[in-house]
Amino acid sequence: MATAQILARHVAYRRQVQLAALRDELATQHINAILVTRHRLVLRGKGPCDPSGLTDPQLYVFTSHGQDVATTDGRTYHFSSGQTHPAGDPAGAASLLAAAG
């Protein structure tokens, strides 16, 4: 399994804010979504260890036709269904998910 990339705190928080904006837009269309943050914890032992820290937040979206997972790199929303949408347009991304689900 690949090790999750540790993000700088400000980058992780900015991505959380962008996903929260998408979650809020989905709520206006009566679509449930849960924002999940992840923190990788590395227990220290002997020898060099990878750092602990925040990793990419994810937005789990639940529609009548199933589940999708949204992430963002700060510029684009990426969906597990393979679709993408500009992160500056959460309303448009919500409409895209509503139309697909």
* pLDDT of res. 78: 98
Distance of CA 15 to the CA centre of its chain: 7
The distance from CA 64 to its chain's CA centroid, rounded to whole angstroms, is 20
Mean pLDDT of 46-67: 87
- How far is residue 75's CA from residue 47's CA, in Å, rounded to a whole number? 37
pTM reported for the whole predicted model: 0.89
pLDDT digits (tens, 9 = 90+) for 33-49: 999 998 887 777 666 77
